[in-house]
Structure 1
């Protein structure tokens, strides 16, 4: 694969900073309170959720446009869970909640969401690696 774009970011752990090479991202990273941390910053799961939601929404727009469907009122919410332990390893799970307008509820919407899941780079990267549940709302 030839990359059309390469993002570069550096982080110094779950309690530190994450900075992109262009400086657009420069933020505190912290372990969530639910995992015993301070919660005084964002965390990798939030960043992954934001990226996956944005990417999936873009993929959905592309496949809808190709089939002449209007998805301008669509919203995608990604819920990224983390679990496990040091002994057995940690893992992620994802629920993608896709809010479709009334006219795209039913088979047409399911088809568009399914096609988006086939072309989205995040979906392709996670397929077979972590559970991803698609929920149409």
Structure 2
């Protein structure tokens, strides 16, 4: 049974060169095409907002996984998300790389936690099968075999 926990509302006007505002006005930002594609400085873009949301959400998923394993993450642990906008023929798409650094944690344990977090993170669940997402732990990509093995465990 699906249980709604929260719904966020935001409104955009003017597309990539417009404005976004959340219903509670906490987000109230000028938007622009990325500067490297001819956009202006001082404005954000959808890819930056997606990267920020995914990184934050994935970090929370790691905290949940750690809690279930009676582990505590180093407060300096980080998740950095790189979102790429690309064009393929007439269509546009996104891909993401999650760079996870679980400070001071054994590499194998860190990979296991990242793979488990990828299974429960709402952004990971929502993008699964829809866009390429690469997981990296301390600079090393987690191969498909590692991720599949953890999924089946």
How does the TM-score come out when normalised to structure 2?
0.84
- Deviation per CA, 1:26-53: give whole Å up to 9, x if none: 0100111222222441000000000000
How does the TM-score come out when normalised to structure 1?
0.93
CA RMSD of aligned residues (A): 1.2
Residue aligning to 1:74: 77
Residue aligning to 1:127: 128
Q: How does 1:44-123 map to 2 (within 5 A)?
A: 44-71=46-73, 72-84=75-87, 88-102=90-104, 104-123=105-124
SS in 2 for 1:14: helix
After superposing on structure 2, the runs of 4+ consecutive aligned residues of structure 1 that deviate more than 4 Å are none
8 A Cα contact 1:31 1:39, kept in partner: no
Q: How many residues get paired?
A: 135
CA distance in 1, matches of 2:128, 2:41: 29
Q: How does 1:11-26 map to 2 (within 5 A)?
A: 11-12=12-13, 13-26=15-28
8 A Cα contact 1:17 1:27, kept in partner: yes
Cα displacement (A) at 1:106: 1.6
CA distance in 2, matches of 1:40, 1:48: 17
- Deviation per CA, 1:49-68: give whole Å up to 9, x if none: 00000000000000001101
8 A Cα contact 1:74 1:99, kept in partner: yes
SS in 2 for 1:98: strand
CA distance in 2, matches of 1:39, 1:48: 18
SS in 1 for 2:16: coil
